[in-house]
Amino acid sequence: MNIDLSGRTALVTGSTAGIGAAVALALGTAGADVVLNGRNAERVAETARRLGARGVAADVGTPEGCDALIRQIPEADILVNNSGIFATQPVFEIPDEEWLRFFHVNVLSGIRLARHYAPRMAGRKWGRVVFVSSEAGVQTPTDMVHYGMTKTAQLAVSRGMAQELAGTGVTVNCVLPGPTMSDGVLAMFDELYPGLEAAEQERRFVAEGRASTSLLRRLIRPEEVASLVTYVASDRSAATTGAALSVDGGLVPTIFP
């Protein structure tokens, strides 16, 4: 299958590492003019140089950061809302400010950006909005309820936006990765399994942790998520909208979605 995104501008938030960087690379390889985003200006500039993309440093977890990004990139054909945070914490110990911080970064960032870009896409009769959600959105993690809450919210937001954009040529979808070998997950592994090599940490997590129901018996790789996002961002996915698309290695024990 040939995917050609030539002539399309793709904005990927939270794209200096992990899934975001892999998505940016895949979209650029398919021909898109890619705009990277992150909070750290040095990391954004370095990743942009490495991937041959443009970069904008802005904290999209704040209204001011979204406004700054929009001022510099007023138009986009493809919006990938990947910016996000996660942490483990017992649910009854999570204070109000943490619930709000997770919601602002993981949910409101995508809402604010889509609110600007999606109507403009509709005016051009073509566009793609992709929320990088998680299998945690349909299978709430006991030790990350605040994270799971935001990922479930993304599913509702994505579906509602897709309904609002019906018939415009703009699609809105969620991609739901399982636990993925990102920098953040590797850092978590170092806390869970200190002193072990990454391969052994992964083996332990798959045997004992959240990925124990994976049918792949391993974690997802960022480039595997990026492949699905690239398809969803292309003309090939024109009939797919308002959907929750799993790339979790069969971790969630259900046949739908």
3-state secondary structure of 226: helix
The stretches of 165-256 forming alpha helices (DSSP H) are 183-192, 198-208, 222-232
Query: Among 142, 159, 183, which Cα is nearest to 47's?
Result: 183
231 a catalytic residue: no
**Tally of helices (H runs) and strands (E runs) in the chain:** 9, 7
Q: Strands 9-12 and 33-38: what pairing?
A: parallel
Query: Is residue 230 within 8 Å of 27, Cβ to Cβ?
Result: yes
Sheet order of strands, 78-81 included: 54-57, 33-38, 9-12, 78-81, 127-132, 170-177, 244-247
What distance in Å separates the CA atoms of residue 12 and residue 178, rounded to the nearest whole number?
19
The per-residue DSSP string of 87-112 comes to: ----GGG--HHHHHHHHIIIIIHHHH
Instruction: Return the structure tokens found at 129.
Output: 């909005």
User: Which of 117, 147, 193, 231 is the catalytic position?
Assistant: 147
* Rounded CA separation 145/245 (Å): 21
* Catalytic site positions: 147
